Amino acid sequence: MKILACDLYHHNYHYQSSAQYLWLAQCWIILGRAEEAKFAYEKAIFQDHFNQEALQGLNSLEASNTTPQYDKHPLYDAEFQESIGEKAPDETILHDKAVDLYLQGEIDAALQLLEPSKNHSNSYFLRGKCYFSQQNYEHSVADFREAIRLSHLKHDEYHICASNQHLKRGQEFLANGEIDLAIADFSKSLDLYSKNQEAIRARENAYQIKANLL
């Protein structure tokens, strides 16, 4: 079965969101705010159950005073967007150039490239990491939190888009007589966005067709 672009995006979102919470937790630990760190670790684990750094951080939060350094970096956004058939906007291109500068240790140059960012979650995430490397933890917290906020907004948009993609694939299955696969996609469409009226009607129609064949 063809993997939909929305499903690839969803996997990418959870990975990135988990990493954002993970770095936020690191800041809270350094700033001596254990409760906020605990909450951020829990959110990181909720977004990605396999985030081992978050699991270890949460488990050792009260048992250790160490502050482990995380080596997870943002993905190159342009490469990912091309993989799902989208053209990367200018802000994404700047972000990817800033990733290279960050990895080379050219933090001030990376910050200059990231300065114009307005609505790009990973640009705020990377900028927060730049400030983190400069031990400017208050600025890091502000940027990590903005990255998380923007990620959640994008995720809400994703649900409607993904719902429509599953609806379209379900309609293709139905047209080819693959009724059970169509019903599964219509149901997934409604799981993603329960107010999708077209998906509601399509699933009812598919169930009716299946009942008539019995």
Domain definitions of the chain by residue range:
160-213
Query: Structure pTM?
Result: 0.69
Separation of alpha carbons 19 and 24, rounded Å? 9
User: Which tokens go with 19?
Assistant: 């990493």
Q: Mean pLDDT, to the nearest integer, of 26-54?
A: 91
pLDDT band at 6 (very low <50, low <70, confident <90, very high): low
Helix (H) or strand (E) holding 119: none
Q: Mean pLDDT, to the nearest integer, of 159-181?
A: 90
Of all residues in the chain, what percent carry a pLDDT higher than 70?
A: 85
Interior angle at CA 149, CA 72 and CA 17, nearest 5? 25
Separation of alpha carbons 180 and 195, rounded Å? 22
Instruction: Give the per-residue pLDDT at 162.
Output: 82
**Beta-carbon count within 10 A of 31 CB:** 14
Q: Mean pLDDT, to the nearest integer, of 47-52?
A: 87
Instruction: Give the per-residue pLDDT at 97.
Output: 92
Q: Which residue has the higher pLDDT, 114 or 3?
A: 114
If you average pLDDT over every residue of the chain, what do you get? 85
The CATH T-level fold of domain 160-213 is: 1.25.40
Instruction: Give the per-residue pLDDT at 204.
Output: 95
Q: Which residues contact 102 (CB under 8 A, 6 or more apart)?
A: 73, 110, 126, 129, 130, 133
User: Which tokens go with 70?
Assistant: 């995380």
Q: Say if residue 187's pLDDT is above 90.
A: yes
Q: Which residue has the higher pLDDT, 80 or 109?
A: 109
Q: Mean pLDDT, to the nearest integer, of 58-79?
A: 64
